[in-house]
């Protein structure tokens, strides 16, 4: 079953739309009256999207949602998603894939902040850039992403994988400041550059294939390691917080 949602033109297109109802299981009944929120206004889904359904399905695993048009102000798509697939042809707004536990979300463009927040399972693929707090916990939470996989082919913003607890996060580009801060588990792979990485890390493993700028002095250097024919320096810490995480870094520069 394929559900095609095309974003309609709106007079106030800058206003965000809260669209947590866009998950595959909610479309198993084609006649269900789904609603979204614009500020304090509850709107029928069809007022924001043109909807077309092809085929039928009995299980969410067999439902694919395709979102077309400018969806950069559409928030919370895929929240609590547990099965099926969502394909977003352009950019997507904040909180995409919140608390996701299964299925797959693929984003052809960029994702705004909080991509995969506190995700528990499933897979998110973003072909563009991701904003701040990708794969992290919400402010004040002690646990961020717990399981599943996020792969970003562009760059990501500050606090990527903050409080990461489980799962795999791969950023093919650069990340902003404080990636991996407060990590408690899981694996973070940064193919590009970053700064102040893994501050107050408790556990987990981080690989940086580029350069770490402003390397924190509170990690213990264990010397050179060769991993897949590439030389990394192995660190453990963050000892300032009695942490036992592991960092493998290709190149680094300490703070001045």
Task: Return the domain boundaries, the chain.
Answer: 1-109, 140-256
Rounded to 5°, the CA angle 236-240-246 comes to 15
* pLDDT (tens digit per residue) in 201-248: 999 999 999 999 999 999 999 999 999 899 999 999 999 999 999 999
Average the pLDDT over 57-83 and give the result: 97
The pLDDT of residue 161: 98
What is the pLDDT at residue 16? 95
Burial of residue 252 (CB within 10 Å: 0-12, 13-18, 19+) is: buried
- Please state the rounded mean pLDDT for residues 143-158: 97
pLDDT one-digit tens code per residue, 87-143: 999 999 999 999 999 999 999 999 999 999 999 999 999 999 999 999 999 988 889
Q: Is the dihedral of CA 51, 55, 57, 61 positive or negative?
A: negative
Mean pLDDT score, 67-93? 98
> What pLDDT is attached to residue 80?
98
On the question of pLDDT at 59 being above 90, the answer is: yes
Say if residues 108 and 88 touch (Cβ distance below 8 Å): yes
What is the Cα–Cα distance from 122 to 104, expressed in whole angstroms? Answer: 6
Q: How big is the chain, counted in residues?
A: 256
pLDDT digits (tens, 9 = 90+) for 192-203: 999 999 999 999
The reported pLDDT for the residue numbered 30 is: 78
SS3 annotation, the chain: CEEEEEECCCCCCCCCEECCCCCHHHHCCCCCCCEEEECCEEEEHHHHEEEEEECCCCCHHHCEEEEECCECCEECCCCCCCCCEEEECCCECCCCCCCCCCCEEEECCCECCCCCCCCCCCEEEECCCECCCCCCCCCCCCCCCCCCEEEECCCCCCCCCCCCCCCEEEECCCCCECCCCCCEEEEEEECCCEECCCCCCCEEEEEEEEEEEEECCCCEEEEEEEECCEEEEEEEECHHHCCCEEEEEEEEEECC
- Report CA 253 to chain centroid distance, whole Å: 27
Residue 147 clears pLDDT 80, i.e. is over it: yes
Q: Is it the case that residue 255 has pLDDT exceeding 90?
A: no
State pTM to two decimals: 0.96
Across the chain, mean pLDDT equals 96
How far apart CA 130 and CA 173 sit, in angstroms, is 10
User: Which residues partner with 4 through β-bridges?
Assistant: 52, 66
pLDDT for residue 184 is more than 90: yes
pLDDT at 31: 78
Distance from C-alpha of 256 to C-alpha of 249, rounded to nearest angstrom:
19
Q: In whole angstroms, how far apart are CA 232 and each of 52, 171, 235, 247?
A: 51, 18, 10, 9
């Amino acid at each position: 079953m394929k559900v095609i949602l095309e974003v309609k033109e709106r007079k106030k297109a800058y206003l965000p739309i809260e669209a947590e109802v866009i998950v595959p299981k909610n479309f198993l009944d084609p006649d269900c009256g789904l609603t979204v929120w614009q500020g304090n206004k509850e709107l029928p889904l069809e007022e924001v999207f043109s909807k077309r359904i092809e085929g039928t399905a009995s299980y969410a695993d067999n439902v694919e949602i395709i979102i077309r048009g400018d969806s950069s102000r559409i928030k919370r798509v895929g929240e609590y998603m547990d099965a099926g697939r969502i394909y977003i042809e352009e950019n997507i707004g904040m909180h995409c894939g919140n608390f996701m536990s299964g299925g797959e979300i693929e984003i052809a463009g960029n994702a705004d902040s909080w991509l995969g927040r506190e995700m528990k399972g499933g897979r998110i693929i973003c072909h563009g850039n991701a904003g701040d707090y990708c794969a992290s916990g919400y402010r004040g939470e002690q646990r961020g992403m717990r399981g599943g996989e996020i792969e970003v082919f562009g760059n990501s913003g500050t606090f990527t994988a903050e409080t990461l607890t489980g799962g795999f996060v791969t950023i093919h580009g650069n990340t902003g400041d404080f990636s991996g801060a407060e990590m408690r588990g899981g694996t973070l792979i940064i193919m590009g550059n970053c700064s102040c990485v893994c501050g107050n890390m408790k556990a987990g493993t981080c690989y940086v294939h580029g350069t770490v700028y402003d390397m924190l002095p509170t990690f213990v250097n264990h010397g050179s390691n060769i991993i897949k024919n590439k030389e990394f320096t192995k660190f453990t810490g963050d000892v300032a917080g009695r942490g036992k995480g592991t960092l493998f870094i290709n190149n680094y520069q300490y703070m001045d």
